Structure 1
Amino acid sequence: MASTMGGVARTKVGKTVETLGDYLREQRLSSRLSLRQLAEQAGVSNPYLSQIERGLRRPSAEVLQQLAKALRISAEQLYLRAGIVSPDDTIGGSVELAVLGDQLLTERQKQTLLDVYASFLALNAGQDAP
């Protein structure tokens, strides 16, 4: 029975690394916060946070920033988990992080800039192909 429990633990740890929701849940639990407490501190609804943790909703960069602040963790870590920035980007030099961190832009403007940037990268990658 111990080996089964060990297997479950390994699977759970592996899964935690894979999804944003699992990572958020792990951070919330390690901070000893209930779902309701984190939702309140981040300024989101309890059901919405629950849906994020279960992978049913994809939060905006702004919500991720609020969650990171409430959990006292790096917003960049959440952006990576959410797939907003790639692990290949260097911290401080990333176009995506600069856009996401700009307080003067709306969420829609940020997403539009990121979409245009991604389309330019895709276009350039296609031109580099032999």
Structure 2
Amino acid sequence: MAYLIDLPTFGDERGKLTIIEKVLPFEIKRFYYVYDVRGKRGGHRHHKTVQALVSLGGSCEIYINNGIEEQTFILDESDKCLVVEPEDWHTMDNFTPGSTLLVFASEYYDVNDYIDEPY
């Protein structure tokens, strides 16, 4: 099941710095970001790919169903990272205006890795 990681963050009067180094449970092979969203994104799970999601600004809801339990996570802080396991059917919704969601993936894009049928 998906879970949250607290990312190391340092701050002072100049602002904050968040580091993503040696905290993800996989080697990053791909990353992308989602923005200007109108409606839901996702709607699939994977055979192999593990993902890590970070809100860089604004917020969104991530619905997870691993076939046994369901949970909704709200990503609204840049120092929180949601790790999504391959078996986690996921959708991303309710993006606030101006929000950006950064996604790190353990695998390169492969259309055959996607499972479009929900549980």
Shorter-chain TM-score range: under 0.3
TM-score (norm. length: structure 1) = 0.23
Q: Which has the higher contact order (CA 8 A, sep 6+)?
A: 2
TM-score (norm. length: structure 2) = 0.24
